[in-house]
A and B are shown apart, each in its own frame.
Chain A
Amino acid sequence: MSKSHNTQSCGSFDHEIGRRAFLGGLTACGVAGLSGVNPVHALSEPEFTKVLKAKDRRVILLWLAGGASQFETFDPKPGRPTGGPFGEIPTNITGVKISELMPKMAKRMDTTCLIRSLSTGNADHVSGSQLMMRGRRDEPNLAYPDFGAMVARELAQKESQVPDYVSLFSATEGRRFSRLSQGFLPGRYAPMRLEESMKPPNLEKLDKISQGDHERRSQLQSLLNQRFLSSRKTSVAESHAAAFARVNGLMSSQKLFDISDEPQYIKDMYGPTLFGQQALMARRMVEAGVPFVRVARAWWDSHAQNFETHLELVPELDRVMSALLDDLKARGMLDNTLVITLGEFGRTPRINPGMGRDHFARAWSASLSGAGVVGGSVYGETDENGEHVKKNPVNAGQFVATVLEAAGIDSSKEYHVGARPVPLVDPGIEPVRDVLS
């Protein structure tokens, strides 16, 4: 049961981005006062290395919406009053044990870093989701971008014809809780939402327009744009032209959103569930150059029957996560793709009368796999009952800074909103360097 519901849309970029809306958003928002990396600073050697490192990085976020239990995944406490009925199993990293519900991931822990000491202080679905996606709260007069938008901004190729940020969220519960947004960044970095379907709406050309007509219209539009730009070159006009080019790109890359031509053995790896299919689509997207894809698996909010819920959902997560890591590895992409599992919070040590666990943000877990992290490592520790962080607490800001750094992005970088410098994470927030490779 969700404690708080807020399905209000929070502005135009929280709406579905179809082809037409996508186009409109880009042209309207392409003028945000924004500057990127200071050119002088960028030439210094460490920064230059980072830029090179970041060049081909991609990020896939497996968003465990509703809040998965750390006890039944990455921080088991078997035999303790809070531990629940499941056992723990050894992994391929000596001394590291995870829930018996994750036997596949147990064999792949060398790819993965566990953070067992998230202490984020917000156990509300809506504001907790926003906090974990941004690392901080919005200001009254400044909406921050979520880390998907920041990754998109930093890693997108300028001439890319694929989306920079895609969010797949099929369940209706919790869809809007994160309020995914590019904040003050240009509209290009707003998430393309795939919700009712795994394909963007309005992607196909109208039946009454022939392919030849469609191509001739595009050529005419391009010609007119170029003429206009030659005499009136402004950021608005440029954004308009870029938007048209990218929509054309989307229309010609419909196969990106279609997994039917994947080999059967690949589909079998991911499994038959929607989450599996969407994770496979995420792999296709990052392979095609999409810098950030969020795949939401909802809904983990097990206020009753926590163990039955996790019996159902954790084996699915285990299969899908393992398949994704294996698939990326087989394609040589795991070294430059960061895979994150994260929700808005974890679940209580206390088991309630309905055999449920409630919301808990004081001591919980997330995982980082692949690019930029020290595989096989565990950061932080909770006490014997999982009630408190015993060692190395990590807050939401630190977590986001760590994700950015793992993706090859300098988390100390600043954007500018008008004349105001705005850092990617709040001042004083440091990434967890121990987990970064």
Chain B
Amino acid sequence: MFSVNDDPIEMKPDPKKFKIVREHKRKDILFSVHMDQKSNSIFCGSSDSKIHLLNARDEKPQSKALEGGHTSYVSGIAQAGPHLVSGAWDKKLIWWNAKEGMVVKKIDAHDKWIRAVSASPDGKWIASTSDDMIVKLWNAASQELVKDLKGHAVTTPTDFPSMLFTARFSPDSKYLASADKIGDVIIWDLESKKELVRLKAPELYTWDDRQRFHSIGGARSVCFSPDGTKLAVSGVGKIGNVDGLGGKARISVFDWKNKKKLIEFQSGQQGLVNHLEFSHDGKWVLGGGGNQQKGFFIFLDLEAEKPKAIHEVQAPMHVHEFAFSEDQLSLQAVGHQKVLYCELKAPAPPAEKKT
């Protein structure tokens, strides 16, 4: 472990300098995270049905819970103006006054389990995705439903229920990308509220039609590049034994408007890539994930001629989601019974903070 240096130092994020600085154990599983950029504290969605506010940068983080909201795993958190919006496996969306820790509005949003919640960068929209296979677009301010975006298949090709894992807005808030279990990715035009482009990433879905007769995988995360031209999609590649996550972690990058796959990357790490974020300069994309034994971070080089990672780091937990600080010099990651504080800069001299 490295010490946290509070002295302001001018540095650039450098994937090769990625270090896990702090590792905090927890009893719960954290699935979702949103960072308050003013305080660098994070709101974490938990398996205990609560949202926990903490700062993993602290040596001994104090965790404050927002209670009385959900009744199942909190799978998505996003900031919408003054409100925090959370979604959970209880099918509900909740608008919170995060400062007061009070519920502002609770909505029975979906017929099935909510998998993700995302806010548009301009603050106008909230998107929620659910296994009812509908992407719901909400007015962030009025908390009213604007549109059901339907287009993802309700069942898989073998007649089993499909799942809609994720949705993210483009940086200019004009588009929304959503992705499902069989690897279908839809980019929605938010002006017309219609499907604009459909991409296919079937390599992220494994159906075993001989040994075990069930499936695993799915497109777990999508993310637009800062200039909005590229879309990264992630998950796990084909798996021989679908009892586990023994396939290679996988990230594909598309020129989405031209439906052209630019990069198809298979990592040496095994497991799902659960979350993706581009660097501000668009030179790399970071994926975090894991399998049933461990986790990982993968920095994918977007400038290399052949797909390659700049840096791959094993994590001490299965990473479910992470959030960068505004300058991308650090991130906080949540996952299986742990929270991590990580830095992407050269470690400062060991000057342990004493409080």
- Spell out A's residues near B (CB within 8 Å): 1-2, 66, 78-79, 81, 85-87, 170-173, 271-275, 297-299, 301-305, 308-309, 311-313, 315-316, 351-356
Chain A contacts for B246, CB-based, 8 A: 1
Chain B contacts for A86, CB-based, 8 A: 72, 89
Contact B295–A312 (Cβ < 8 Å) = no
| Complex CA distance for A315 and B159, rounded to whole angstroms | 11
Q: A81-B47, A87-B90, A299-B242 are in contact. List 14 more A-B contacts (CB 8 A).
A: A86-B72, A87-B72, A171-B213, A172-B211, A273-B159, A298-B213, A299-B212, A299-B213, A304-B216, A304-B243, A315-B160, A351-B47, A356-B244, A356-B292
> Which one of B28, B71, B113, B215 lies within 8 Å of A312 (CB-CB)?
B215
Chain A contacts for B28, CB-based, 8 A: 81
Closest-CB distance, B278 to chain A (whole angstroms) = 26
Q: List 16 A-B contacts (CB under 8 A).
A: A1-B244, A66-B212, A81-B47, A87-B71, A87-B72, A272-B159, A273-B160, A275-B213, A299-B213, A302-B243, A304-B292, A308-B163, A308-B218, A313-B214, A316-B160, A354-B245
Contact A79–B29 (Cβ < 8 Å) = no
| Complex CA distance for A351 and B113, rounded to whole angstroms | 19
Q: Which secondary structure characterizes the binding site on chain B? A: loop
B291 within 8 A of A: yes
Given A87-B72, A353-B317, A354-B292, also A271-B159 (CB < 8 A): yes
| Complex CA distance for A102 and B215, rounded to whole angstroms | 20
On chain B, the number of residues with a Cβ less than 8 Å from chain A's Cβ atoms is 44
Contact A354–B161 (Cβ < 8 Å) = no
Contact B318–A353 (Cβ < 8 Å) = yes
Closest-CB distance, A67 to chain B (whole angstroms) = 11
Given A85-B73, A85-B113, A313-B214, also A301-B159 (CB < 8 A): no
Contact A171–B160 (Cβ < 8 Å) = no
Chain B contacts for A311, CB-based, 8 A: 131, 161, 163
Contact B90–A173 (Cβ < 8 Å) = no
From A66, A81, A274, A311, name the one whose CB has the most chain B CB atoms within 10 angstroms: A311
Closest-CB distance, A197 to chain B (whole angstroms) = 14
> Nearest 4 pairs between A and B by C-beta?
A354-B292, A299-B212, A85-B89, A1-B243
B25 within 8 A of A: no
Contact A305–B245 (Cβ < 8 Å) = yes
Q: Which secondary structure characterizes the binding site on chain A? A: loop
| Complex CA distance for A304 and B216, rounded to whole angstroms | 9
B288 within 8 A of A: no
Closest-CB distance, A248 to chain B (whole angstroms) = 34
Chain B contacts for A273, CB-based, 8 A: 158-160
Given A86-B89, A173-B211, A353-B292, also A81-B72 (CB < 8 A): no
Contact A301–B336 (Cβ < 8 Å) = no
